[in-house]
Amino acid sequence: MTRLSVNVNKIATLRNARGGNNPNVVQVAKDCEHFGAEGITVHPRPDERHIRYQDVLDLKEVVTTEFNIEGYPDDRYLELVEKVRPEQATLVPDPPDVLTSNAGWNTIKHMDYLREVISRIKSWGVRVSIFIETDEELINAAAETGTDRIELYTEPYATNYPTDKGKAVAAYVKAAEQARKLGLGLNAGHDLDLNNLAFLKQNIPYLDEVSIGHALVCDALYYGLENTIQMYKEKLRDA
């Protein structure tokens, strides 16, 4: 089974646009779980433009499925992960001012740094996943960092899917097979939606988890949150 983790960053963006606490991020996360999501993802950034650090602490008290904290592993992020002890920490190579995660780790160049950080996080009993592209050498190096999983960066897949879905998924299938041979768990995320998700799942049936936020929240405006989560879960069901 591939788990659906709902990224609630966009809920926080909407809240922050007006101030106050509407929509309530904690309540939405609880509702997502109630409606069938198997995890909640957050990505607190240094400027707190969407998820705030206090949100992460508040969510720790209520999330009953898998809690996944994404972020660049600077001191503040590591302190937060140590305090919260989520089920999973997903490491992304974002500079502080980036709009959204748009590249994976160069695991060869940053091998020593990643080894040190991953060892530290795992000592807290937290599973580690690292955001990565489909390059085979980088995946091989990822296995040497000590990470438990990789998360495939799927924006190129989503971009190319409308014109040639077979070609779009080919590199991901190869990367997934390599990760599996190396004993790495496999997550995926970025620009996955109701149009392209099922095809990815069909071609990589052993995906452990997908993290989806922006598209899911946009769909919820039309279909409602409960119905939307069920629609995404349907795309992930094994044939």
Catalytic site residue from 70, 133, 151, 209? 70
Q: Is 87 among the residues known to form the active site?
A: no
Catalytic site residue from 43, 50, 66, 209? 43
- CA 85 – CA 71 distance, rounded (Å): 14
- CA 175 – CA 159 distance, rounded (Å): 18
Neighbours of 207 (CB within 10 A): 20
Catalytic site residue from 33, 133, 151, 190? 190
CB proximity list for 34: less than 8 A, separation 6 or greater:
none
Q: What is the DSSP letter of 161?
A: T
Amino acid 79 reads: E
Q: Is 43 among the residues known to form the active site?
A: yes
Residue holding tokens 């909407």?
Answer: 14
- CA 179 – CA 142 distance, rounded (Å): 9
Q: Is 214 among the residues known to form the active site?
A: no
Which active-site residues does the annotation give? 43, 70, 190
